[in-house]
Amino acid sequence: MSMARAQQLAANIIGEVLNGCNLNEILIQVIQQHSELSASDRAALQDLTHGSLRYLGLLQQLVQQMTTASPPADIRHLLIIALYQLHFTRNAHHAVVNEAVNHARRLHGGRYQKLVNALLRRFLREHEDLLANALKQDTARFNLPAWWVNYLKKHYPQHWHNMVTAMTKHPPMTLRVNRRYTDAEQYQTKLAAAGIPARILDTHSIMLQQAVAVSKLPDFASGHVSVQDFGAQQAIPLLNPQSGERILDACAAPGGKTGHMLEWADCDVTALDIDSQRLERVQENLQRLHQQAHLHCADAKDLHSWYDGNTFDAILADVPCTASGVVKRHPDIKWLRQPQDGQKTALQQEALLDNLWLTLKSGGRLLLATCSIFTEENQQQVTRFLTRHADARERLSRILLPNSRQDGFFYALIDKI
């Protein structure tokens, strides 16, 4: 893929995201529409769009301070991509500028060709001063909307700075080692033999020094290891499934936690998801792990569509949320979310949790799990739930903040008495 083509596609994708579209969905659409793209082309396009969105606050501020009047949206998006290439990649500067100017020539009758050329060349000449000035703005310094920074300062006064720093980093590739076959120490030896440096996080978790294709991981195809964020790996130890228990995984796709609980114990798992295509991924993951579960494509809160009346010993309620804890992996989330979204999703969660509670036996336990750092969806949700249900007792709750080895998660284990 030529640089010009990469800039064009990436700028179009950024525009779609800033109009409210999901980055992964747009990437899939573009890749399907352009079958000529090779695997390396697709990876390059993903890196370019993810990187530009990761540092969008800074890039937008640079464009703003170098233009007296805002150019059309497609020109702004082209500038964002080109500035990202100039500042954050090893692309040849002259090639980045020339191709961006050539693309601008094809837009709006070429009226903004000179602007693009002048702005990019000015950045190359004055980048130190321009960056220093841009970084005076919180949105540019932290690459988060101002409301998000203020929210974190309010709710995490001791941790907010480390959180926003972590949220701009590339996410690590972390492995969950299947305890039915081996442990982290033994698997690290296999990785070393394959030339893949890694460090052990705990007895069955490993973080790679650098991401690799799963096809290069020893025994991946035979289910000895799975790719899963270290924070996500904490869910099943908290739920602690026991052999012989009936367990519900209420929002199962893509199946990482489903597989983990079946590695943990010989339990009888029912896995639900409302999306049939995503449920297929659960089945694929279970097949690779040589495990089985009862899969149902259904809305978990619509009990009539799937529940047979037999109560469960334990429920994993990995409920829909704003995903505010996983922006390292999904940088579009930073720019798509609005201040009221946490409260909106919390209301959706309430209906789901209330219905799931009906399917849990007395003496059972429910683990509420979110990949959010917004308190409305987390501890406030638990407080409201306990108020509504006299037979509920909170055993523990835990917030995992985003850091260098994990995304952000919240867990609360609730007993039914």
Which percentage of the chain shows pLDDT scores above 70?
Answer: 100
Q: Determine the pLDDT at residue 39.
A: 87
pLDDT at 1 over 80: no
pLDDT at 172 over 90: yes
Q: Strands (DSSP E) along 214-311, which ranges?
A: 225-227, 246-249, 268-273, 294-297
Residue 253 in marked binding region: yes
The reply to whether 371 belongs to the active site is: yes
pLDDT, tens digit, for every residue of 233-250?
999 999 999 999 999 999
What domains are defined for the chain?
3-143 (1.10.940.10), 146-171+229-417 (3.40.50.150), 173-228 (3.30.70.1170)
pLDDT at 191 over 80: yes
Nearest to 170 by CA among 256, 88, 50: 50
pLDDT, tens digit, for every residue of 269-322?
999 999 999 999 999 999 999 999 999 999 999 999 999 999 999 999 999 999
What is the pLDDT confidence band of residue 70, given thresholds at 50, 70 and 90?
A: confident
Residue with tokens 């750092």: 373
Residue 273 in marked binding region: yes
Q: Determine the pLDDT at residue 401.
A: 98
Residue 51 in marked binding region: no
Q: Determine the pLDDT at residue 414.
A: 99
List for the chain the helix, strand, coil content (%; round to 5). Answer: 50, 15, 35
Residue 257 in marked binding region: yes
Q: Determine the pLDDT at residue 139.
A: 96
Which percentage of the chain shows pLDDT scores above 90?
Answer: 96
pLDDT at 68 over 90: no
Q: Out of 21, 297, 321, 371, which one is annotated catalytic?
A: 371
Kindly state the tokens that stand for 393: 């007792």
Residue 299 in marked binding region: yes
Residue pair 363/416 in contact (Cβ under 8 Å)? The answer is yes
Residue 255 in marked binding region: yes
Helix-helix angle 3-18:23-33, to 10 degrees? 140
Report the number of secondary-structure helices (H) and strands (E) in the chain: 17, 11
CA distance 57 to 176: 34
The secondary structure element, H or E, covering residue 396 is strand 392-400
